[in-house]
Amino acid sequence: MRYLPLSDANRRDMLSTIGVANVDELFRDLPKAALAKAQITLPNSASEMEVERALGAMAAKNLNCGQGPSFLGAGNYRHHTPASADYIIQRGEFLTAYTPYQPEIAQGTLQAIYEFQTQVALITGMEVANASMYDGATACAEAVAMACRVTKRTKAIVSGGVHPHYRDVTATTMKFLECEVELLAPDPMAVEDLLGRIAPDIACVVVQTPGFFGHLKDHTDLANACHAVGALLVVCVTEPVSLGLITPPGRMGADIVVGEGQSLAGPMSFGGPGVGLFATREKFIRQMPGRLAGETTDEDDRRGWVLTLSTREQHIRREKATSNICTNSGLIALAFSVHMTLLGEAGFTRLAQLNHAMAVTLADKIEKLPGVKLIPNAFFNEFAVQLPKAAEGVVEALAQKKILGGVPASRFYPTFPELKNVLLLSATETNTVGDIDTLVAALKEVLS
């Protein structure tokens, strides 16, 4: 159906009412240079077939993960998503569902949220999880805001191993909440001294495991140091599959765990949509942002679910709100939960083992290439290497060979010349040994 709500007569009436002769006059106060940049030359009309042909040709310029070996990561990982997950989230009961304010007619949605919360709490080793945030980056920002409320302090330290997007969103958000955020320099070698920065005036320290450059770390000592001065430890997890194998952040002493669940919810999809994971200790539950689905019983003592601890201030008095994210990524959270349910505990662990094994195979073969140095660390399914030439050029050359050969660190940190040759490589269960051999052979040719 065409959406043309206004006729020419409607437009003339509106323009006449506000006293302008034409639409162009509405923009007369804008600089001419800005208007010139805004000019877009488009054909006046085209048939549906012509449009499909043109857009198809444009789309064909992209190289997607299904067209060749892919080793992309850097916070967005490719995993196999069961077909049943896609089928379930497209059922009308879920696909068209909205905010479940009325529990009597939204029991299915509320139970799905409750199961999601339970799964997130279990894999992170925490006591309670919310119904999800927009994505991992906003969850990180909300965690810092929460830490400031809990400690009544206004300073946060963010590790150089935290994903750059998380760092940027957190710094931008906290600027308007009058919290000082210290962003440490990117840390590809995992040598930063966080323990030496702990002070009585900080609200929290934010770290990530596996880190942006792949490093796995035990943050137990850091958690103890934070707690000794009354600060909180926030741990980010951009690859949730890692929680099937590594020590959960909760067992390291984390006070808040945040992350991105997209990789278990569906395809990479050029970066989204995401689903932010957020878990914490029960003693902080009243400061937790977002919403929470809880279990209850009705007047007939039947099991049921409701939204709980969702304050009205988040909807009508924003200046007093715990958080202004008063919704959740319900459909993506459901896909995450369906996938986790299908895997089960043993399947989740097995999936993590497959990822790690494939990454180890990749690392073993990559580091044998002349001039390529594996940046030393313990890793899960992603690691960084130092190339003998600029990583961006290498990646472009590999793309010409239909290989998505990782992500250059310089795309995230263009002003750090020491990262120019650093390449992030990720391997998951979707890769094969043949894929790895293809990458290694092509990389050897490109670097020669």
Task: Quote the domain boundaries for residue 234.
Answer: 83-339
Whether residue 263 is found in the same domain as residue 234: yes
> DSSP secondary-structure letter at 61?
T
Q: Are residues 294 and 350 in the same domain?
A: no
Instruction: Tell me the CA distances in angstroms from 332 to 89, 116, 273, 274, 328, one per residue in order.
Output: 8, 10, 8, 7, 9
- 315 and 357 assigned to the same domain: no
Residue 375 lies in a domain: yes
pLDDT in tens, 259-287: 999 999 988 988 889 999 999 999 999 99
Three-class SS state of 434: helix
Task: From 292, 322, 339, give the residue that closes a domain.
Answer: 339
CA distance 144 to 440: 41
Task: Compute how many other C-beta atoms are within 10 angstroms of the C-beta atom of residue 185.
Answer: 11
Instruction: Retrieve residue 293's tokens.
Output: 């689905």
Judge if 188 and 119 occupy the same domain: yes
Non-local (6+) Cβ contacts of 207 within 8 A are 159, 161, 162, 194, 217, 219, 222, 233, 234, 235, 236
The residue count for the chain: 448
> Does residue 318 contact residue 284 with C-beta atoms inside 8 Å?
no
Q: Do the beta carbons of residue 76 and residue 262 sit within 8 Å?
A: yes
Sheet of 407-408, strands arranged across: 373-374, 382-386, 422-426, 407-408
**15 occurs within a structural domain:** no
Question: In this structure, are 310 and 396 located in the same domain?
Answer: no
- Co-location of 419 and 278 in the same domain: no
Domain boundary among 291, 310, 339: 339
Residue 361, domain CATH:
3.90.1150.10
Q: What's the CA gap between 343 and 80, in Å, rounded?
A: 11
Whether residue 104 lies inside any domain: the answer is yes
- The encoded tokens of residue 181 equal 């955020």
Same domain flag for 304 and 398: no
Its pTM stands at: 0.89
User: Residue 311: its pLDDT value, please?
Assistant: 59
Q: What is the pLDDT of residue 3?
A: 62
| Six token digits for residue 191 | 């040598």
Query: What are residue 403's phi and psi, to 5 degrees?
Result: -125, 125
* Exposure b/e, 349-361, CB count within 10 A at least 16 = b: eebbebbbebbeb
Sign of CA dihedral 292, 293, 298, 302: negative
Q: Is residue 16 part of a domain?
A: no
- Provide the 8-state DSSP code for 376: P
| Shared domain check, 241 and 106 | yes
| 244: CATH | 3.40.640.10
Determine the 3-state secondary structure of 41 from DSSP: coil
Residue 2 lies in a domain: no
Per-residue pLDDT of the chain (448 residues; tens, 9 = 90+): 466 678 889 999 999 999 999 988 998 888 888 888 877 777 778 889 999 999 999 998 888 888 899 999 999 999 999 999 999 999 988 888 777 888 888 999 999 999 999 999 999 999 999 999 999 999 999 999 999 999 999 999 999 999 999 999 999 999 988 899 999 999 999 999 999 999 999 999 999 999 999 999 999 999 999 999 999 999 999 999 999 999 999 999 999 999 999 999 988 988 889 999 999 999 999 999 988 999 999 889 999 999 887 655 566 666 777 887 878 899 999 999 999 999 999 999 999 999 999 999 999 999 999 999 999 789 999 999 999 999 999 999 999 999 999 999 999 999 999 999 999 999 999 999 999 999 999 999 999 9
* 200 and 295 part of one domain: yes
**Overall domain count for the chain:** 2
How far the first Cα of the chain sits from its last, in Å, is 57
Query: Does 75 map to a domain?
Result: yes
Q: What is the pLDDT of residue 1?
A: 45
Same domain, 211 and 313: yes
In a domain, 46, yes or no: no
Is 363 found in the same domain as 282?
no
- Residue-level pLDDT at 2: 60
**b/e map of 164-181 (b: 16 or more CB within 10 Å)?**
bbbbebbbebbeeeebbb
Query: In terms of domains, do 105 and 232 share one?
Result: yes
**Residue 376 is encoded by which pair of tokens?**
């030393």
Long-range contacts of 338-344 (CB under 8 A, 24+ apart): 338/82, 338/84, 338/85, 338/88, 338/89, 339/81, 339/82, 339/85, 339/264, 339/265, 340/119, 340/123, 340/264, 341/115, 341/119, 342/82, 342/84, 342/85
